[in-house]
């Protein structure tokens, strides 16, 4: 058969078989027992030519409501931010995206330097001493942080706020089960932040770490300055999960006393892409450097004294440690780390601050509209960044509300009742710099109208 990705001609095949000393290609599979051979064609989707495939994919894509056509007010960990045009151009360079892990540093200096710069960016934003080359996503990064904390403190108990993203807590639970860690959840205070008294009571002498997210899942900023002494007094570690874009404005985890800072880099120029792939980041204080999971790039010199970069501290890595591993990650999200780096290069010192400020201004304008309309109320009083919770009138059907909003061109907020039964009838609404005043006003007008 002829196929545009396959160069094998009949003549090639004949010559190669002759060299091998085989009669047929079939002979090369003689080591596979007949009893396990598959005969016939697999019941899978069939082949399409290039034009037909493009048409098919366009049809599938066309059955989805995307951010170009709809104004998105959904957040909850994945956000519709502006992606600078240059980002896609750079990550589309095939020298980057068709390469694998930089095992051969002499021909991988581009990727290695890009990761070194990413690590530098993460350290700069988070105020932490060292960062790795990235993790699968923010949720798995948080779970790995718990594992690191347990290993470093030789303790088994992990205390996590219920205001941490529900899916991150679900991933944490599976991870903890594997590693034999105990997870203790702490509830929220009426203002939408973690209940400090409950937190203090949950921290024991066997607590490896407290895991807190800020802005938390409800958009509220946690009072980290009050949380930090609670865990450090018991010699446990403080793990903060943060929105990297918020760090243009908000105090860095390092300055707040975090031992480990993690998060998802999606807000930094990475397409929402139905939730993935994104890129987790992971940064620690210096004493934890050699316990950090994943890949790390370091600076060194070549035999002629030129600056160069290599994968380093590799002996920590799971594939070297085999059964002694404490993590099994052996890749990173290099291309998306590159994307985040490009975003931060475009934004620079001023742009990141201005973008963060725009998010604050637009979301606060939106919350003021929500409060003023009459039908919605704002249940939480804690300060927030670009997301806030609204309470719908008693008996409102959130599914129906979001359905009507969709018809009007809006992707509505996140229904909190699914993950928090006590917050039935509450919506989490995100307002990024992409939302115009007009969209914000129309959105709340529409919402008031359908309620």
Partner 1 sequence: MSEIREGLAYSREHEWAEKRGERIVRVGITDYAQSLLGDIVFVELPEPGTQVSAGDSVGSIESVKTVSELYSPVGGTVTAVNESLVDSPELVNGEPYDSGWMIEVELGGDAEEAFKGLLTAEGYREHLA
Partner 2 sequence: MKPDKALIFELSRPGRAAYSLPECDVPELCADSVIPAGLLRAKPAELPEVYEVDVIRHYTELSRRNFGVDNGFYPLGSCTMKYNPKLNEDVARFPGFAKLHPYQPESSVQGALELLHTLQSDLAALTGMDGVTLQPAAGAHGEWTGLMLIRAYHESRGERRTKVIVPDSSHGTNPASAAVAGFETVTLKSDERGMVDLEALKAAVGDDTAALMLTNPSTLGLFEERIVEIADIVHEAGGLLYYDGANSNAIMGIARPGDMGFDVVHLNLHKTMSTPHGGGGPGAGPVGVKSKLLPFLPVPTVGRRADGAYFWDGDRPQSIGRVKAYCGNFGILVRAYAYIRTYGPEGLRRVSECAVLNANYMMRRLAPYYDVAFPGVCKHEFVLSGKRLKAFGVRTLDVAKRLLDFGYHPPTIYFPLNVEESMMIEPTETESKETLDAFIDAMIRIAEEAETDPQLVLNAPYTTVVKRLDEATAARKPVLNCSCG
Omega before residue 215 within 30° of 0, cis? yes
Token pair for 2:
């002829």
Is residue 308 a contact point for partner 2 (CB under 8 A)? yes
Is residue 378 a contact point for partner 2 (CB under 8 A)? no
Is residue 315 a contact point for partner 1 (CB under 8 A)? yes
Q: How many residues does the chain have?
A: 451
Helix locations, 312-392, DSSP H: 318-321, 334-373
CB of residue 320 vs partner 1: minimum separation in angstroms?
Answer: 6
How far is it, in rounded angstroms, from Cα 89 to Cα 104?
25
Is residue 177 a contact point for partner 1 (CB under 8 A)? no
Contacts with partner 2 in 181-220 (CB under 8 A)? none
Q: CA 132 → CA 58, 108, 393, distances in Å?
A: 37, 18, 46
Is residue 349 a contact point for partner 1 (CB under 8 A)? no
Stretch that binds partner 2, among 149-157, 178-186, 197-205, 234-242 (CB under 8 A): 178-186
Question: 268-285: buried (b, 16+ CB within 10 Å) or exposed (e) per residue?
Answer: bbbbbeeebebbbbbbbb
Tell me which H or E stretch contains 3.
none
Is residue 273 a contact point for partner 2 (CB under 8 A)? yes
Spatial contact of 325 and 315, defined as CB atoms under 8 Å apart: no
Q: In this chain, which of 183, 184, 196, 289 binds partner 2, going by CB under 8 A?
A: 289
Q: In this chain, which of 196, 249, 371, 378 binds partner 2, going by CB under 8 A?
A: 249
Cβ-based nearer residue to partner 1, 107 or 320: 320
Cβ-based nearer residue to partner 1, 84 or 298: 298
Q: Residues touching partner 1: how many (CB under 8 A)?
A: 7
| Cα distance from N-terminal residue to C-terminal residue, the chain | 60
Beta bridge partners of residue 324, listed in sequence order: none
Q: What mask, x for binding partner 2 by CB under 8 A, covers residues 399 to 428?
A: x--xx--x----x--x--------------
Contacts with partner 1 in 411-440 (CB under 8 A)? none
Contacts with partner 1 in 283-312 (CB under 8 A)? 290
CB of residue 313 vs partner 1: minimum separation in angstroms?
Answer: 8
Largest CA distance in the chain: 83
Is residue 320 a contact point for partner 1 (CB under 8 A)? yes
417 binds, among partner 2, partner 1, none (CB under 5 to 8 A by kind): none
Question: 207-240: buried (b, 16+ CB within 10 Å) or exposed (e) per residue?
Answer: bbbbbbbbbbbbbbbbbbeebbebbeebebbbbb
Spatial contact of 138 and 280, defined as CB atoms under 8 Å apart: yes
Stretch that binds partner 2, among 5-13, 155-163, 231-239, 371-379 (CB under 8 A): 5-13
Cα–chain-centroid distance for residue 135?
8
Is residue 235 a contact point for partner 1 (CB under 8 A)? no
How far is it, in rounded angstroms, from Cα 265 to Cα 279?
5
Q: CA 412 → CA 72, 350, 399, distances in Å?
A: 7, 31, 10
Q: What mask, x for binding partner 2 by CB under 8 A, covers residues 226 to 245?
A: --------------------
Is residue 321 a contact point for partner 1 (CB under 8 A)? yes
408 binds, among partner 2, partner 1, none (CB under 5 to 8 A by kind): none
Q: In this chain, which of 10, 64, 421, 422 binds partner 2, going by CB under 8 A?
A: 64
CB of residue 289 vs partner 1: minimum separation in angstroms?
Answer: 10
How far is it, in rounded angstroms, from Cα 141 to Cα 291?
14
Cβ-based nearer residue to partner 2, 385 or 420: 385
Q: CA 266 → CA 64, 67, 83, 275, 420, distances in Å?
A: 20, 15, 10, 9, 24
Cβ-based nearer residue to partner 2, 180 or 205: 180
CB of residue 315 vs partner 1: minimum separation in angstroms?
Answer: 4
273 binds, among partner 1, partner 2, none (CB under 5 to 8 A by kind): partner 2
Spatial contact of 389 and 73, defined as CB atoms under 8 Å apart: no
Q: In this chain, which of 186, 240, 344, 390 binds partner 2, going by CB under 8 A?
A: 344
Contacts with partner 1 in 78-97 (CB under 8 A)? none
Reference 377, options 430, 426, 418; nearest CA is 426
* Residue numbers at the binding site for partner 1 (CB under 8 A): 290, 313-316, 320-321
């Amino acid at each position: 058969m002829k196929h545009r990705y396959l160069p094998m001609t009949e003549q090639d095949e004949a010559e190669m078989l002759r060299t091998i000393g085989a009669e047929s290609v079939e002979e090369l599979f003689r080591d596979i027992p007949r009893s396990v051979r598959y005969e016939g064609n697999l019941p899978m989707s069939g082949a399409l030519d290039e034009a037909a495939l493009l048409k098919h994919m366009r049809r599938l894509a066309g059955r989805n409501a995307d951010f170009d056509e709809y104004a998105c007010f959904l957040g909850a960990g994945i956000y519709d931010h502006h992606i600078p045009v240059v980002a896609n151009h750079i990550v589309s360079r095939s020298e980057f995206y068709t390469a694998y892990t930089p095992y051969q540093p002499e021909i991988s200096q581009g990727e290695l330097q890009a990761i070194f710069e990413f690590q530098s960016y993460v350290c700069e934003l988070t105020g932490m001493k060292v960062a790795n080359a990235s993790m699968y996503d923010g949720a798995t990064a948080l779970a790995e942080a718990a594992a690191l904390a347990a290993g470093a403190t030789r303790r088994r108990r992990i205390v996590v706020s219920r205001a941490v993203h529900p899916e991150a807590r679900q991933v944490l639970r599976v991870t903890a089960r594997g590693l034999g860690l105990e997870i203790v959840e702490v509830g929220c205070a009426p203002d939408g932040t973690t209940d400090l008294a409950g937190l203090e009571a949950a921290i024991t002498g066997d607590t490896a770490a407290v895991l807190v997210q800020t802005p938390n899942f409800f958009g509220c900023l946690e009072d980290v300055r009050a949380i930090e002494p609670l865990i450090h007094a018991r010699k446990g570690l403080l793990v903060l999960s943060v929105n990297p874009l918020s760090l243009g404005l908000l105090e860095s985890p390092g300055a707040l006393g975090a031992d480990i800072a993690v998060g998802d880099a999606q807000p930094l120029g990475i397409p929402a892409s139905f939730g993935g792939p994104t890129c987790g980041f992971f940064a620690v204080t210096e004493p934890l450097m050699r316990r950090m999971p994943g890949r790390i790039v370091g600076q060194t010199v070549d035999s002629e004294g030129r600056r160069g970069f290599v994968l380093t501290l590799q002996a920590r890595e799971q594939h070297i440690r085999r059964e002694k591993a404490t993590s099994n990650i052996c890749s990173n999200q290099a291309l998306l780390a590159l994307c985040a780096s490009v975003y931060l290069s475009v934004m620079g010192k001023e742009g990141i601050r201005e973008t963060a400020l725009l998010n604050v201004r637009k979301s606060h304008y939106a919350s003021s509209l929500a409060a003023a309309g009459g039908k919605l109320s704002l249940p939480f009083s804690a300060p927030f960044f670009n997301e806030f919770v609204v309470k719908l009138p008693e008996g409102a059907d959130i599914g129906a509300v979001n359905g009507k909003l969709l018809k009007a061109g809006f992707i509505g907020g996140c229904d909190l009742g699914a993950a928090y039964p006590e917050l039935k009838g509450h919506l989490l609404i995100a307002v990024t710099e992409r939302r115009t005043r007009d969209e914000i006003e129309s959105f709340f007008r529409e919402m008031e109208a359908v309620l």
